[in-house]
Chain A
Amino acid sequence: MSSTLRNIVVIVTLTLMVVGLAVVLTVGGFGFSLPPHNVRALATIFLNTTLNLDANYRYVSAMSPEAVTAIVWDYRGLDTLFETSVMFIAIVGALAISRGATEKLLKTSPPVLGMSLITKTITRITIVMILAVGASIALHGHLTPGGGFQGGATIAVVPMLLIIIFSIYLFSKMITIYKAVTLRSVGLIGIALSSFIVLIIAALYGGSAYIFQNQPKLHSHYGLPSYAEPILLGGTLLFFNVFETLAVAFGFAALFILFTIPEDAVKSAIMGEE
């Protein structure tokens, strides 16, 4: 009886929420009618300065034709670094929960496992293609839509396929979970070091620069080369994308291993000591 009453209360509340939000939308409570004719003033600034060789804008431009990459790795800077480390902390938490189970996994060596020969052959072919597409998305991150996170998530399909098709035992012999977490840490450290590149260059020349500075700014005229006549090099954005790909791809690999550890191995690891 009380659960029915609770259900009714929840449904009425949620219906009121939808009606309220709809009313807010109708009377223009979001500050615009849809679709808006103009973007916000902030977006106009970003769009205008994302790639602008004009002398007035040269010292505020991110020199990346892709505005989203420019915002994520240049205008927003350190925020993105900490955002990347949030997932790292989630992985560390997961490792702490299933501690000891991966060592047990390596000790057991069952007979030949995995799917049929056809599936294995097809997987061997597609893995190369997936890696190529992921690398293309990641390395062109400063030129076209895409970037480190998207490319890394694409590459992360490969460990998933290997685990499903060739079994977790074989995969955890190729990449142990500690190796995956170490490589992810290498990616994160690479991101942190790339943010200091311009500062190091400026220190060598006796000038000053900002952390996470991609291009020359008003009071510090240092930066990595970003534009050689026909080609856009992207400055530090390329380094950020490469290291982010490494971090995300191996982060996912570690997670897939953790999620697919057989139940009895985990159970014996959790309950065994008691």
Chain B
Amino acid sequence: MSKIRSQEEITARVKALESMLIDQGVMTTQAIDRMVEIYENEVGPQLGAKVVAKAWTDADFKARLLQDASAACKELGIGGLQGEDMVILENTDNVHNVIVCTMCSCYPWPVLGLPPNWYKDPQYRAAITREPRKVLSDSFEFTVPEDVEVRVWDSSSEMRYWVLPQRPRGTEGWSEEHLLKLVTRDSMIGVGPVAKVA
């Protein structure tokens, strides 16, 4: 049985692997830095929030988004790796959706960025399918009313699911720019609410 490595051991292993891949021309530090920069600063949940806010204010766009999420996102210049074929799941008064990948860590990168660590951890992947209400309540302090059905979407294929949260009450007449500040990453995973209307 191999042992659990320390951070120092992993660091040395990765540097050794990187050096060999550099020697082979598979990687360059320039390309590594660029890829990291993209997912640290450019692709993240602010893009999904933009899509949600537009869907809240534009009924035609929302209809297209529900019909084909990838095509509708493309209209806004949003899409790509790990979101080639996306489906958005609309929360309603009767249905709450939440996403998981129980066998690995599939997640819609183009709209939510890279997944948080808890999403990839064994604990979430194990429990959210079995006891979603308990997980949401215990770990996310998020209670779904008993009369609302909880639908857990296990992303086992290359389809990428994410959640269209309900537009909060008291936001009538708000602009898209104003609304998008309410859209949290967790509300698009389905583990949390949108931000409180101030």
- A-B complex is real: no
| Chain A contact residues, CB within 8 Å of chain B | none
Residues of B participating in the A interface, judged by any CB pair closer than 8 Å: none
